[in-house]
Amino acid sequence: MRADARRNHQRLVREAAVAFAEHGEGASLDDIAKRAGVGSGTLYRHFPTRQALLEAVYADRIEEIAARGHELADRLPAGDALVEWLAELGERMIQVRALKALLGSAVTDDGGSAVLTECGTSVKDSAARLVEAAQRHGAVRGDVEPIEVLRLVHGVATASELSGGNAECIRRYLSLLTDGLRPTAGRPD
């Protein structure tokens, strides 16, 4: 890609992220092009469909989320790393409108496009690493599957949106959730 085309691409992705955060996934594509300082034709040359633009915006964010899980796993005790990653994941899902829906699609077996499937694999791998480490250290029940944890944090993000969608709410709901993930006497691991 030529340098000017690369800059246009980056501006479009950056401005689309802002527009989608403000207006959801239905944000005006013409407005996004104007914000980026390019014409609509340039937008459609880079992103022939709305879905392609959404994926370009969110693929980077989903990959960042996955990478953050690995960073936390390397830096924090296993149980703390999982809880912190889930909190950050939930916060990001409510900070950027439509990310929650796309992330939900990305972690299913029929995630749609190759981009979302690849992103879903990255997030599932990160979740598996964190959950399995927490299980080895006795911080999470042995019968918990990583995909279940991802689905639960998706639900926590939805519940948090109903309560105003702030970080404190996410962390409160996650503490209630993680209490249920911990092993207890008399319950199967």
* pLDDT-wise least confident of 32-36, 105-109, 170-174, 181-185: 105-109
Q: Which residue has the higher pLDDT, 54 or 117?
A: 54
Helix extents (H) in 137-166: 146-162
pLDDT of residue 25: 78
Q: Give residues with Cβ within 8 angstroms of 54, minimum separation 6.
A: 16, 20, 25, 98, 102
Phi/psi region, residue 23 (left: phi>0; alpha: psi -120 to 50; beta: rest), is: alpha
Q: What is the pLDDT of residue 112?
A: 62
189, pLDDT greater than 60: no
Question: 93 and 99 in contact (C-beta within 8 Å)?
Answer: yes
Q: Is the pLDDT of residue 100 over 80?
A: no
- Position 109 pLDDT exceeds 80: no
Indicate the SS3 state at residue 160. Answer: helix
Residue 90 has pLDDT above 70, yes or no: yes
Q: Convert the pLDDT of each residue in 134-158 to its tens digit.
A: 999 999 999 999 999 998 998 888 8
| pTM of this structure | 0.77
- Which one has a higher pLDDT value, 123 or 98? 123
Asked if residue 89 lies in contact with residue 154, where contact means CB atoms within 8 angstroms, the answer is no
Longest dimension (CA), the chain: 64
Q: What are the pLDDT digits (tens) for 6-15?
A: 999 999 999 9
Mean pLDDT, rounded, of the chain: 86
Cα 171 from Cα 90, distance rounded (Å): 9
Give me the phi and psi of 95, to 5 degrees please. Answer: -70, -35
Please give the single-letter amino acid code of residue 27. Answer: A
Mean pLDDT of the 85-101 span: 82
Instruction: Please give the Cα distance from 29 to 187 (Å, whole number).
Output: 52
The confidence score (pLDDT) of residue 185 equals 52
Q: How do residues 36-80 score in pLDDT, each as one tens digit?
A: 999 999 999 999 988 889 888 888 888 899 999 999 999 999 999
Per-residue pLDDT, averaged over 88-95, amounts to 86
| 158: alpha, beta or left? (left if phi > 0; alpha if psi -120 to 50) | alpha
Architecture of domain 55-181: Orthogonal Bundle (1.10)
Q: Where are the domains of the chain?
A: 1-48, 55-181
Q: Report the C-alpha gap between 185 and 147 in whole angstroms.
A: 24
Across the range 75-101, mean pLDDT stands at 87
The DSSP annotation for 1-53 comes to --HHHHHHHHHHHHHHHHHHHHH-TT--HHHHHHHHTS-HHHHHHH-SSHHHH
Range 1-48 has CATH code 1.10.10.60: yes
